[in-house]
Chains A and B, each alone.
Chain A
Amino acid sequence: QKEVEQDPGPLSVPEGAIVSLNCTYSNSAFQYFMWYRQYSRKGPELLMYTYSSGNKEDGRFTAQVDKSSKYISLFIRDSQPSDSATYLCAMSPYSSASKIIFGSGTRLSIRP
């Protein structure tokens, strides 16, 4: 069993819809949670970063962490075609970058 599970999709939604992307994990020691966005043939770029449980909002994006359920989510409001990309969750038991575990990514397509 992988430490981090992420549905690969693809997920296709119409423009303007609310998108929910999720990851589950098994290691209760994870405390740092990240979401990366990766456009086709590009490197990942950091989208959101949260520490421990709770919510974090940045514009149209909201990251949620539920440590009791070992479940993290990324919500995208008013989705745009430019949001079409692969979204990778990532997490770590501490701030050491060498211990970051990435999910396999969810491919998202926003239909105009």
Chain B
Amino acid sequence: NAGVTQTPKFQVLKTGQSMTLQCAQDMNHNSMYWYRQDPGMGLRLIYYSASEGTTDKGEVPNGYNVSRLNKREFSLRLESAAPSQTSVYFCASTGRMGQGYGYTFGSGTRLTVV
């Protein structure tokens, strides 16, 4: 089925460990996004990529890095995980920058940092 695929679905890290969250879309979308969702906080934008080859910071970028590997793939890296990064992470894509109503979200990665 067409959509946004995130891996892994679950992960437990120790403080200080690093990991990369993977995201791939097969809808030929130009723009991709990484959000985190925390209880009572809604969805907050970490980084986004308006098109292949570009990335920009969102609302909460500290502690994260991203790579737009190609048009399909957008990865999120935690270099030194902290308990404050315990969250559910969602990747999303849209056909054109500026069409927020066209977001397609992945199913999420549930990350716990102990």
Listed in ascending order, the chain A residues whose CB lies under 8 Å from chain B are 4, 6, 8, 32, 34, 36, 41-46, 49, 88, 90, 92, 94-98, 100-105
Neighbouring B residues of A95 by C-beta, 8 Å: 98-100
A43-B92, A103-B42, A104-B42 given; A98·B105 CB < 8 A: no
The 9 closest A-B pairs by CB, nearest first: A43-B105, A49-B101, A95-B98, A102-B42, A97-B100, A102-B43, A104-B42, A100-B100, A44-B105
Neighbouring A residues of B39 by C-beta, 8 Å: 104
CB distance from A98 to the nearest CB of B (A): 5
CB distance from B7 to the nearest CB of A (A): 14
CB distance from B79 to the nearest CB of A (A): 23
A43-B92, A43-B108, A98-B48 given; A34·B43 CB < 8 A: no
14 A-B residue contacts at CB 8 Å? A6-B42, A43-B92, A43-B105, A43-B106, A44-B90, A45-B105, A90-B43, A95-B99, A96-B97, A97-B31, A97-B33, A97-B103, A98-B48, A98-B56
Which of A6, A8, A43, A96 has the most C-beta atoms of chain B within 10 angstroms of its own C-beta? Answer: A43
A96 to B40 Cα, complex, angstroms? 24
* Chain B residue with the shortest CB-CB distance to A92: B100
